[in-house]
Structure 1
């Protein structure tokens, strides 16, 4: 499921916003710097009618459309307002935003997925087709502005694909945020030398709603390059970042060979709408 309940002590400041105006001051930031562009990687029509548990994310969310949007970098959530997003439907109408939230993807390195909630266009009559950033929404390091970024919406009936794979700079800390623990499981400390974070277009589980396990770990394939330039395919030694209900998996690796790409076969994982994933592959982004 995309939605999880958070207990006491979990980080909750500024992670959901219902302000329909852009209150971020224009800092004159560019849309690209040092090779990093301000882009939207995907917008996924995840659910037409959110369940009651979505009220935990934003009051009054039940029954609204849910649409995870993935950014090219982590964002500065203090610059995120619901009004930063404009959703256009097939007829050319504009959807009505209710809330924007980074829940439940709040582990370190995950603040690039925003769940858009609102009356964004029903799939059966006038589905959403495009998301535009119309407000000043900044990257987490304050170097780029996502205003002007745009991406087509993946239809409701489509299953989720991998939209990003990246080497994690400190995989031993994934699953913690300062002194506050969140629910993503960690890579084992013994025998693991690096990790790749895989970000799906939306939250994924097995068809029965449970988390992936050993069988699904073995279905991931990581193509790596050895020191002599040879390429080979390996399996992750462990699968982590589970149990927190978000759209990220951590592929824990027991080799220092450079990861090049990640792939996963079709019809294994489902989104909250029950749609199975297609066969999917993504190049691995190196550390910046």
Structure 2
């Protein structure tokens, strides 16, 4: 089911409609239903255990471009953007815009106009969902996000109903919020990125021995918007255990580039046990040009 969904998603993302002003490619990914329509009885094994929101990142205030807003959600006008990171990948068949409630600083509550996995749609990336809508302003910022509907994990074992997280303020830069060792069957070595801004990033080189996925709270690039390169690659510090000795490893390449999302793949040429990933402050920015903070993360697996 997972691979079948992703194959269909890739076809949607790379369709010629994507480059047309009124194209339906991205809107086919989004959901704008205002109420929870998931029949939870169809998921009898879904429980609350393990249901967490890792972050909600107020990344853009009225700054999603006019046409991008239309392509993503089918609505005109500049919108706010807030990626929400789940502790597990989500079955997007259970995802509706009405499943999310956003609390603002003044005590009011709003819901997103739509939600979408784009642009984080490669294998293993369906824990990031982008909310698009009106989430207040820099003077009345969102303070928390709560799941008020039945959103079920991809393995159908977890229901995120009731999960809640504080929102990272607009002025704050991105940080690492998740890391994991990528299963070998999901490596996609040598894969090229889509020629479109959305549609899947690059794979690690063929000589890769281990892949670590790191997930940032929001999309990251070099300051000014260019894709990261060797400067950022060399800044990643991977702590690994080699015969009970802690060593520092530098990725020999980065994967999952060229697709504008919040994920990087750290391509390693050794198989030592990875125990921690670190990245220094001030090298990358979110779409609002806020610099990343010094950050570190332990792989969940």
TM-score by length of 1: 0.89
Shift of the alpha carbon at 1:55? 2.1
Counterpart-to-counterpart distance in 1, 2:76 and 2:95:
18
Q: Which moved more, 1:12-21 or 1:98-107?
A: 12-21
- In structure 2, the CA distance between the partners of 1:169 and 1:14, relative to structure 1 (3 Å rule), is farther
Is residue 2:78 matched to residue 1:71?
Answer: no
Shift of the alpha carbon at 1:268? 0.5
Is residue 2:231 matched to residue 1:224?
Answer: no
The structure richer in helix per residue is: 2
The counterpart of 1:195, out of the listed 201, 211, 216, is 211
**Residue 195 of structure 1 contacts residue 251 of structure 1 at CA under 8 Å; is this kept in 2?**
yes
Is residue 2:42 matched to residue 1:42?
Answer: no
Aligned CA RMSD, in angstroms, stands at 2.1
Counterpart-to-counterpart distance in 2, 1:193 and 1:14:
36
1:102-251 paired onto structure 2 within 5 Å: 102-124=117-139, 126-170=140-184, 171-173=186-188, 182-190=199-207, 192-226=208-242, 228-251=243-266
Shift of the alpha carbon at 1:64? 1.7
Shift of the alpha carbon at 1:26? 2.2
Gaps of 5+ in 2: 1-11, 19-24, 193-197
Shift of the alpha carbon at 1:182? 3.7
Runs of at least 4 residues of structure 1 off by over 3 A?
9-14
Shift of the alpha carbon at 1:209? 0.7
Partner of 1:264: 279
Relative CO higher for 1 or 2, CA cutoff 8 Å, sep ≥ 6?
1
Counterpart-to-counterpart distance in 1, 2:223 and 2:13:
23
SS in 1 for 2:40: coil
1:93-140 per-residue CA deviation (whole Å, 9 max, x = no partner) reads: 01242001111000010001011111111122x110000000000000
The counterpart of 2:15, out of the listed 5, 8, 26, is 8
**Residue 40 of structure 1 contacts residue 150 of structure 1 at CA under 8 Å; is this kept in 2?**
yes
The alignment of Structure 1 onto Structure 2 pairs a total of residues equal to 272
Shift of the alpha carbon at 1:62? 3.6
Counterpart-to-counterpart distance in 1, 2:159 and 2:174:
27
Counterpart-to-counterpart distance in 1, 2:266 and 2:178:
13
Shift of the alpha carbon at 1:25? 1.3
Gaps of 5+ in 1: none
**Residue 14 of structure 1 contacts residue 77 of structure 1 at CA under 8 Å; is this kept in 2?**
no
- In structure 2, the CA distance between the partners of 1:13 and 1:73, relative to structure 1 (3 Å rule), is farther
SS in 1 for 2:69: helix
- In structure 2, the CA distance between the partners of 1:13 and 1:144, relative to structure 1 (3 Å rule), is farther
Counterpart-to-counterpart distance in 1, 2:132 and 2:181:
30
Counterpart-to-counterpart distance in 2, 1:54 and 1:97:
13
The counterpart of 1:20, out of the listed 34, 42, 47, is 34
Counterpart-to-counterpart distance in 1, 2:94 and 2:188:
25
Partner of 1:57: 72
Counterpart-to-counterpart distance in 1, 2:223 and 2:293:
14
TM-score by length of 2: 0.86
